[in-house]
Structures are given as structure tokens and as C-alpha cells.
Amino acid sequence: MTGYIIRRVLLIVPTAFLVVTLAFFAMHIVPGDAVLASIEEGTSLRPEQIAQMRESLGIDKPLLVQYGNWLRSALQGDFGKSLATGRPVTKQLFKAIPVSLELALLSQVIALAVAIPIGVISALRQDTFWDYVLRVFSIGMLAAPNFWLATLAIVLGAYWFFWAPPFGYVPIWQDPVVNMKQFLLPAAIMGLHGSATAMRMTRSAVLEVLRQDYIRTAHAKGLSPRRILMVHVLKNALIPVVTIWGVSIAYLLGGAIIIESIFALPGVGLSMLDAINSHDLTQLQANILFFGAAVVLVNLIVDLSYSLLDPRVRYN
């Protein structure tokens, strides 16, 4: 088990290396650079000024040299300063991570809290009125775009109740009440949207498990329906749900750009968007590196959780 974990953790290194390398060269296919992107509308800088600015940022050098310089610094733990703002990129990233992490976790908790009961009820009441109602609900949530739900929620809240979530992010350790006011609505929207997939997966997994021989045996042994459901059905049905949940969390750690934008939550998604718009390669590289590592780590956690859900799963 320990060896497995070490191997998987070590896998982060080549994965992240591959991702940032691809990102670095892909960004250079896009026309323009950080200096051109920084020139404001109406500004007409002299060519020598532009050259001087490129030199000071180190982006006047050949591409491979730039990449080599970045990689050397990164290996020493220095991911550099933002080409757009001049701020240390790791500091910026570490400020954004808690925002995206909180949003991702909260939304996925809401997603599971909605998806699992609905999925189970839907499976247990297969092809009944309630099954159809719940399935329509889940498909509706899946079909409604996040940005539309978010805009609707925020605008209707303001016009009907003169209320909107408090703007201006407040960390949870500073003021948990205000923080929750800021996060609950966006997390609920994301959670409901995400619950649709998990609900459908739960439903189909539960249906499949319900048809297994060991469930019939459990019924024959006289176990209560509740015990059968909680111990024998759910535990076995949850493996695919957990997989989806893990993938969603990893995805959301990369930032929910639209939701973060609408609710003014300065997470990784917004940071990524700003970095792309400003050709801020150093910030982008750091964010992508984090995203790559997060995907590998979350998947590792998901894989490890299988053994908790199913004792037959062993890691060698």
C-alpha cells in the first residue's frame, strides 16, 4: 500500500512536467505576448520602450532559453513573478486555492447530499411517478447552464428581496457567517448542477446492485430493508459515484471560472482567466502545475477510498 502511494505521488512529477511543458509552448502559439497585452488602449509606446519592457521580463530571449530559465527556477522552488503584475505567482496562487477549494468541497457536499438520496429513491421506486419526477429534476439541473442559474439567482434575489450575497471575499477564518453567505448560493448552484450526474450514476448503480445474488440472499436471511440498503447496496453502489465525485472535485479545483466571476470569488479560475488574457505565462504555469498535481492527488485519494468501500480491493 505504501509503495503504491509513493509510486502514485511520484507520478505527479512527470504528469505536471508534461502538462506545463505543453502549456508553455501552446501559449506561445497564441499571437502576442505579455508586453503587447499590457499596452493600454490608446497608448502608443515607442519600439525601444517595448523592447526594454520585454528585456526586463526576460521574454525577449529565444523560446527554449525562456523555458529552460523557467524550469531551472521552478526546480529550485521559485516559480517567478507575474509578467502582468510583478507579484510572486505562488503567493497569488496560494491566495486563490482556499477559495476554489472551499467552493469545490461545499458544492460537492451539496451535490452528494442531493444526489445520493434522490438516486436511491429513484432506483427503489423505479418507473413510478416519483422516479420520473426525480429524473426530470436531475435532467433539468443538468440542462440548466450554471451561468444562467447563477445570474438568475443573483439578479432575482436583488430585485425581489433586495438581497445579494455579500461581495468582497471574506475568508472563513475571518468571518464564518459572512463567508457562508458568500459561498452557499454559488455552491448550491454548482452542487445542484453536479448532483444530476451523480444522481443518475447512483440510480443505475443501485439498480445494478439490487439485482445481485447477495442482495437476494440478504433478503432471504431476513435482514431489514434498511440494513440491506445501507450496508449491502449503498456501499457497493458508491464506487462509481465516488469516482465521479473525485473527478468533479479535481476539475473544480482548477477553478469554476464562471461562478467565481459572477459571485466575485477570487479563486483559481479567475486567476487563470486573468493570466490567459494578459499572456501572464508565469502565473499560468504555476496554476497549471497546481491543477495537474491536484488531479493526480485527488485521483489517488479516490483510488484509495475504493478499498474502504470494497474490502476486496487491494493495492500492491
Partner 1 sequence: MFKANWQKKGLLLGAAIAAMLLVAAACGGGAEPTPTSAPTATSAPVATPTATKVPPSPTPTPKFQPKKGGSLRFAQTSDPVTFDVHASSLSLLTNHTHLTHSRVLRYESLGWPEEANYGALTVTGDAAEKWEISQDGKTFTFHLRPGIKWPNVAPLNGRELTSEDAKKAFERILNEPKSIFKEFYEEITSMSTPDKYTLVMTIDKPLASWLYRVADGEAAWITAQDFIDAKGKDYGVRQDSLVGTGPFLIKSEETGSRYIYTRNPNYFLPNLPYVDEVVWLIIKDASAREAAFVSGQIDALGASRTSVPRIQKALPKAALDSNPGLSNTASGIMFNMTNPKWQDIRVRQAIQKGIDQGRIIADLYGGQGRYQGCMPTALSSFALSQDELKALYTYDPEGAKALLAAAGLSSGLTFEMTTFTGYQQRLLDIAELAQDDLKKIGVTVNLKPVPVASGRPAVEAGNFETVIQPHSTGVEPDEMIGGFTTGGGRNFMRVTDPKVDAWNLQQTVEFDVKKRAAITKEFSRYCAQQVVGLIPMPNEASFSFTQEWVKNFPISDVASDEPRELFAWVEK
Which residues lie near partner 1 (CB under 8 A)?
A: 30-33, 36-45, 49, 52-53, 56, 84-87, 92, 95-96, 151, 154-155, 157-159, 162-164, 166-170, 261-264, 266, 270-271, 274, 277-279
Q: How many CB atoms lie within 10 A of CB 163?
A: 12
Q: How many CB atoms lie within 10 A of CB 271?
A: 28
d(CA 31, CA 36): 10
User: Which residue(s) pair with 81 in the sheet?
Assistant: 88
| Residue 40 DSSP class | P
Judged on CB neighbours under 10 Å (0-12, 13-18, 19+), 119 is buried
Q: How many CB atoms lie within 10 A of CB 125?
A: 14
86 CB-side CA count, 13 A: 3
d(CA 96, CA 111): 22
